[in-house]
């Protein structure tokens, strides 16, 4: 159902929005010639604005400041292990989240009703794609289901992409040679010097695809700082654990942690080090199993044999990988064109915070920025 909202045609329409939202954000919040920012917070806001605008549409994006962001935040506060493990506990957070969910339903419902009334107006976003979707029996999705799918997509991509972009930028701040390489490559692909201000050009879908240095930056960041450290499967039929006497009964969950193999010295030299060029040398790329499967949303690598699996594997692997790469690379393109970055000298590279379902850099995530334009 979400395939249509993640098509190349849609991606092309999303690119100017990504650039516009990031420019708007830094022009409003990073106003000094140089300063220190809480990077995770800034990036999280850029992610929610770019994702809401492109997936949920301009109507809901325009309501972000009217409380929608707070409603997301309330839902979000249930994204912790205790909520996953003890769904029957009478926690106040559950009641708050049910109320927030009902409010979001009614906000989305009003936007959907308005769009149905003006059905001749075409929108290139996920909301339109879902409203046009059909179940296998030909029935359309109810408004409630459309709203729920949008919430699920936004939640799936929010912290994962925010954490990845933040870690990527922190590592870039510590590695100016990689920044220089990325800037040279971007200018050569776009065939011009990139202005250091909000006048920078919007890259095409093909341009962003070709930003190989930024691609390796994201790939390497995900290898050592995968935001999801557990992939779960429910046991349907008893599973025998190889080379042991253990059998896991049906009804249990199996949890695998791909971050173990992703930093195993069997596969990677100096495995904890952030070295994007290992994805050019063949070292890292050669470890990945390239076999693809098409489950109906385009052929994609699904093998669980690769040591680095930040997007999971199999039928339920992430469907948002392409969107995430496009969004993260475009955000980095705008930020690196307009600013130089340095780690905060006192805070340095933050440790990981393993307390939430999505592993984030532990706050405060301080980073110094300096405007490149006069």
Contacts with ligand HEM by CB under 6 A lie at: 153, 156-157, 160-161, 164, 222, 227-228, 231, 310-314, 316-320, 323-324
Q: 194 vs 287, which CB is nearer to ligand HEM?
A: 287
- Of the candidates 312, 126, 339, 176, the one whose C-alpha atom is nearest the C-alpha of residue 233 is 312
| Cα 36 from Cα 16, distance rounded (Å) | 27
- Token pair belonging to 151: 């919430």
Q: How far is the CB of 161 from ligand HEM (least distance, A)?
A: 4
**Minimum gap (Å) between residue 227 Cβ and ligand HEM:** 5
The CA-atom distances, in angstroms, between 312 and each of 89, 228, 305, 307, 326 are 29, 9, 11, 11, 19
Closer residue to ligand HEM, CB minimum distance, 110 or 248 = 248
Rounded Cα distance, 236 and 47, in Å: 36
The answer to whether 168 and 217 are in contact (CB under 8 A) is yes
Euclidean distance between CA atoms 152 and 53, whole angstroms? 15
Place of tokens 């003890």: 86
Is 15 or 318 the residue whose CB approaches ligand HEM more closely?
Answer: 318
Cβ of residue 303: shortest distance to ligand HEM, in angstroms?
11
For residue 247, which phi and psi values (nearest 5 degrees)?
A: -130, 130
Nearest approach, Cβ of 183 to ligand HEM (angstroms)? 23
Q: Which is nearer to ligand HEM, 153 or 186 (CB)?
A: 153
Closest to 181 measured CA to CA, from 216, 208, 221: 216
Known binding residue 318? Answer is yes
Shortest distance in whole angstroms from residue 74 CB to ligand HEM? 20
Query: Which residue's CB is nearer to ligand HEM, number 74 or number 301?
Result: 301
- Report the binding-site residues: 318
- Report the binding-site residues for heme: 318
């Amino acid at each position: 159902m979400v395939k249509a909202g993640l098509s190349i045609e849609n991606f092309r329409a999303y690119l100017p929005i990504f650039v516009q939202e990031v420019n708007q954000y830094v022009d409003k919040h990073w106003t000094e010639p140089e300063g220190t920012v809480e990077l995770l917070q800034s990036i999280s806001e850029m992610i929610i604005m770019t994702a809401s605008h492109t997936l949920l549409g301009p109507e809901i994006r325009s309501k972000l400041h009217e409380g929608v962001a707070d409603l997301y935040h309330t839902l979000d506060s249930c994204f912790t292990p205790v909520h996953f493990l003890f769904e029957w506990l009478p926690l106040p957070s559950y009641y708050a989240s049910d109320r927030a969910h009902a409010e979001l339903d009614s906000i989305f419902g009003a936007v959907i009703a308005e769009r149905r009334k003006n059905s001749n107006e075409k929108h290139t976003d996920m909301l339109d794609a879902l409203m046009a979707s059909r179940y296998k029996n030909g029935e359309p999705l109810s408004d409630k289901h459309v709203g729920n799918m949008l919430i699920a997509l936004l939640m799936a991509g929010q912290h994962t992409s925010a954490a990845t972009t933040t870690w990527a930028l922190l590592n870039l701040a510590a590695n100016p040679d990689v920044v220089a390489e990325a800037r040279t490559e971007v200018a050569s692909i776009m065939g011009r010097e990139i202005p250091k201000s909000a006048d920078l050009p919007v890259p095409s879908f093909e341009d962003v695809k070709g930003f190989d240095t930024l691609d390796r930056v994201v790939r390497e960041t995900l290898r050592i700082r995968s935001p999801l450290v557990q992939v779960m499967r429910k046991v349907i039929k008893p599973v025998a654990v190889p080379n042991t006497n253990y059998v896991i009964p049906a009804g249990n969950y199996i949890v695998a942690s791909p971050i173990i193999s992703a930093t195993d010295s069997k596969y990677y030299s100096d495995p904890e080090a952030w070295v994007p060029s290992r994805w050019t040398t063949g070292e890292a790329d050669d470890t990945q199993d390239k076999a693809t499967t098409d489950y109906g949303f385009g052929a994609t690598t699904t093998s669980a044999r690769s040591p680095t699996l930040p997007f999971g594997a199999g039928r339920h692997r992430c469907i948002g990988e392409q969107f995430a790469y496009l969004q993260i690379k475009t955000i980095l393109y705008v930020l690196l064109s307009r600013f130089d970055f340095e780690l905060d000298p006192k805070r340095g590279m933050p440790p990981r915070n393993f307390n939430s379902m999505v592993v984030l850099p532990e706050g405060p995530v301080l980073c110094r920025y300096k405007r490149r334009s006069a």
